[in-house]
Amino acid sequence: MSLPPLVSRLPHVGTTVFTRMSQLAIDHGAVNLGQGFPDFACDPALVDLVTDAMRAGHNQYPPMTGLPALRQAIAAKIEATYGHRYDANTDITVTAGASQAIQSAILAVVHPGDEVIVIEPAYDCYAPAIALAGGVVVPVTMRLDADGYRVEWADVRAAVTPRTRMVVINTPHNPTGTILRQADLDALVAIVQDTQILVLSDEVYEHMVFDGEPHASVARHPALAERAFVVSSFGKTFHVTGWKIGYVAAPAALMVEFRKVHQYNVFCVNAPMQHAIAGYLQDPAPWRDLPAFYQAKRDLFRAGLAASRFTLLPSDGTYFQCVRYDAISDLSEAEFAEWLTREIKVAAIPVSAFYSQLKESHVVRFCFAKKDETLQLALERLAQL
């Protein structure tokens, strides 16, 4: 018997650029500054807490919404950091990473034909989630000039139609390393107020904002918080991306719909790791010290590239540095990233991969969430350019 014909739900989706570039880095012995994950260990105390939780017998299903102690710790952290009080019982759900949080939020409220504004370049999980919900992606392109990338809010406003259901924002922003500021949130409020438009705010790099700037969380802005899903990631914050544990905070009415999807999507999240993180959050130092930790790595990496022919774009947040390579090559971004990996032995990600339609700006993205010796090795190789 032959396989019946299949009609793909995601016909335009293939292997991600992160997977391709990481494999190319392995094949050519390149330093992998492409995919965004640390090559250093997390705090041993966090591993000890997981071990303790396992030995204490916390190995069965936790509550669908997340361990109460962890939800309470998240609520307390958000209130202390951003001044907004979420109810731990009704407003917070622990998720299997930020990607699951994003997908479940979109599936919960976006219906077939609804339009979702996505600001590009954009992390690659947004569009497939919108497609699976039957929604329509409406891309709005950030402006790129000598001062880096920025959102043109007039363009966002122009993209709004009667079918607009949601605006997706991401700050600090992957891949560009830019951040939104209070004025940006005010501009967004002016667009969505007096409408039925919801906001999905991807804030997984919330504790990687540099140069003394505050993180402009949607949770800080009451007029946005009342209509927003706010997503974050313990994997990013605590250097454990493979744990895939995040959370979403939203008003109770939105969370009711979110949990309807969540309970049939993953149902619940790794129990011993939830116990560990709940305990680890009692000390705020690990996440409060994170901006200085990553700023030092950013500064090391930028200093090492300062004499190169790369043009450094601003990196105000995240653990990513974007560079223009106009003075080095006329290759397309994908071709240049592959050449860099094969010939210079340093892997990067082409920023063109973060657009719904091909857009070439001669920009690639490096990840500096690496040991200093890893960064130094990469910088030695990039010095050839």
Identify the sign of the CA torsion 93, 237, 97, 138: positive
Q: Alpha-carbon distance 250 to 259, whole Å?
A: 11
| Predicted confidence band of residue 16 (pLDDT cuts 50, 70, 90) | confident
Q: pTM of this prediction?
A: 0.96
Write the pLDDT tens digit of every residue in 180-205: 999 999 999 999 999 999 999 999 99
Contact 345, 381 (CB under 8 A): yes
pLDDT digits (tens, 9 = 90+) for 212-245: 999 999 999 999 999 999 999 999 999 999 999 9
pLDDT tens digits for 328-346? 999 999 999 999 999 999 9
Confidence of residue 3 (pLDDT cuts 50, 70, 90): confident
Residue 50 is predicted with a pLDDT of 98
Q: Estimate to the nearest angstrom the gap between the alpha carbon of 359 and the chain centroid.
A: 21
List, in order of start, the domains of the chain with CATH numbers.
17-42+288-382 (3.90.1150.10), 45-284 (3.40.640.10)
Q: What is the mean pLDDT of residues 103-116?
A: 98
Give the residue with greater pLDDT, 159 vs 11: 159
Q: Is the pLDDT of residue 1 over 80?
A: no
Could you count the other beta carbons within 10 Å of the beta carbon of residue 154? 11
Q: What are phi and psi of 315, to 5 degrees?
A: -125, 90
pLDDT in tens, 261-294: 999 999 999 999 999 999 999 999 999 999 999 9
| Residue 283 CB neighbour total at 10 angstroms | 11
The b-or-e profile of 106-144 (16+ CB within 10 A means b, else e) is: bbbbbeeebbbbbbbbbbbbbbbbbbebebbbbbbbbeb
What span, in angstroms and rounded, lies between the C-alpha atoms of 320 and 297?
Answer: 10
Structure tokens at 97: 């990473």
Alpha-carbon gap, residue 153 to 184, rounded angstroms:
8
Per-residue model confidence (pLDDT) at position 5: 84
Distance CA 133, CA 112 (A): 6
Q: How far is CA 275 from CA 207, 269, 289, 349, in A?
A: 21, 11, 22, 35
- Tens-place pLDDT, residues 46-70: 999 999 999 999 999 999 999 999 9
Beta strands in the chain (DSSP E): 31-32, 92-95, 115-120, 136-141, 143-145, 148-150, 164-170, 198-202, 228-233, 246-249, 311-312, 320-324, 346-347, 349-350, 363-367
Max CA separation in the chain (angstroms)? 64
With tokens 């116990």, the residue in question is 275
* Direct distance between the N- and C-terminal alpha carbons of the chain, in angstroms, rounded to an integer: 56
What's the rounded Cα separation, in Å, for the pair 326 and 316?
22
- Give the whole-angstrom CA distance, residue 55 versus residue 104: 32
Residue 319: partners with Cβ closer than 8 Å, 6 or more residues away: 36, 205, 208, 294, 297, 298, 367, 368, 369
CA distances from 23 to 16, 40, 341, 360, 374 (A): 11, 20, 10, 23, 18
